Chain A
Amino acid sequence: GQNIDQPTEMTATEGAIVQINCTYQTSGFNGLFWYQQHAGEAPTFLSYNVLDGLEEKGRFSSFLSRSKGYSYLLLKELQMKDSASYLCAVRDHPLDSNYQLIWGAGTKLIIKP
C-alpha cells in the first residue's frame, strides 16, 4: 500500500534547530514536496527533492534518501511564526497516478519562547 509517516507533533524553542522526519512507502517515486500550513490557511510550498541529498533554501533545508524512503525538513533559527503544520507529500509514479500526490498527515510544530 501507499503510506507516508510523519510525527504528529513536535515542540522546539525559539532560536533553536528542529528536524521533521518523513518516511514513505509508495509503489513508485517521482519527487517529494514539503509544505507549510498555518491553522485554517492554505498550504504553501517550501521545497522539492527528487535526487538524493540536501537542498538548502535560507533557514529551511530538505534532505532525501530514496534508497531509505526517507526525507527530513530542517528548520534553523526558529521563529515564533514557524509554528505551523508541515506536510510531506510524495508524487507517485506518473503511469499509475496521473500526477497525484500522496500526503502525510502533517507534523504540528509548536515553538516556545
Chain B
Amino acid sequence: DGGITQSPKYLFRKEGQNVTLSCEQNLNHDAMYWYRQDPGQGLRLIYYSQIVNDFQKGDIAEGYSVSREKKESFPLTVTSAQKNPTAFYLCASTDSLDSYSNQPQHFGDGTRLSIL
C-alpha cells in the first residue's frame, strides 16, 4: 500500500537537544511538506521541497532544518533554537507541481513532540 510514514509517533526532547522526525513516502510524489499544528490554529508550513536536493522555507522555519537527499525522504530536525517545540508535526506530499492541479496533499499520521 502506498502512503506516507512518519516516525516516531511520540517524541520527547530534552533542553538543548536536537531531534529528528522521519518522513518517508512511497507514492513517488515530487513535492513534500512539513507542517506544525497547534491547538486552535491552522496548519503552519515549516519547510517544503519540490524536488530532490532543493527545499524552501515556509512561514515558521526558524529553529528547524530539513534535507531532501532522496525523493522518498524528507526528515525534519527540530533544533535547540526552537524554544517552543511542543506540537503535532505533520508531513505531507503531493503528486503534481502543477499549480492548477486538483491533486490534494496526502498526510502522514503525525509525530507528537513534547518537552521533558
Contacts and interface: CB of A to CB of B under 8 A. Distances in A.
A100 B97 CA distance: 11
Size class of the contact patch on chain A: 20 to 34
A98 B56 contact: yes
B16 interface: no
Interface residues of B, number: 26
Contact of B45 (A30, A100, A104, A105): A100
Given A41-B110, A42-B109, A99-B31, A104 B42 contact: yes
Given A98-B50, A100-B45, A103-B42, A45 B110 contact: no
B108 interface: yes
Given A98-B56, A100-B45, A50 B90 contact: no
Interface of B: 31, 40-45, 48, 50, 56, 58, 88, 90, 94, 97, 99-100, 102, 104-110, 112
Given A41-B110, A48-B102, A89-B43, 13 more contacts: A30-B99, A40-B88, A41-B109, A43-B43, A44-B107, A48-B104, A50-B100, A89-B42, A94-B99, A99-B94, A100-B45, A100-B48, A100-B58
15 contacts: A4-B42, A31-B102, A35-B104, A44-B107, A91-B99, A94-B99, A98-B50, A99-B48, A99-B50, A99-B94, A101-B43, A101-B45, A102-B42, A105-B42, A106-B42
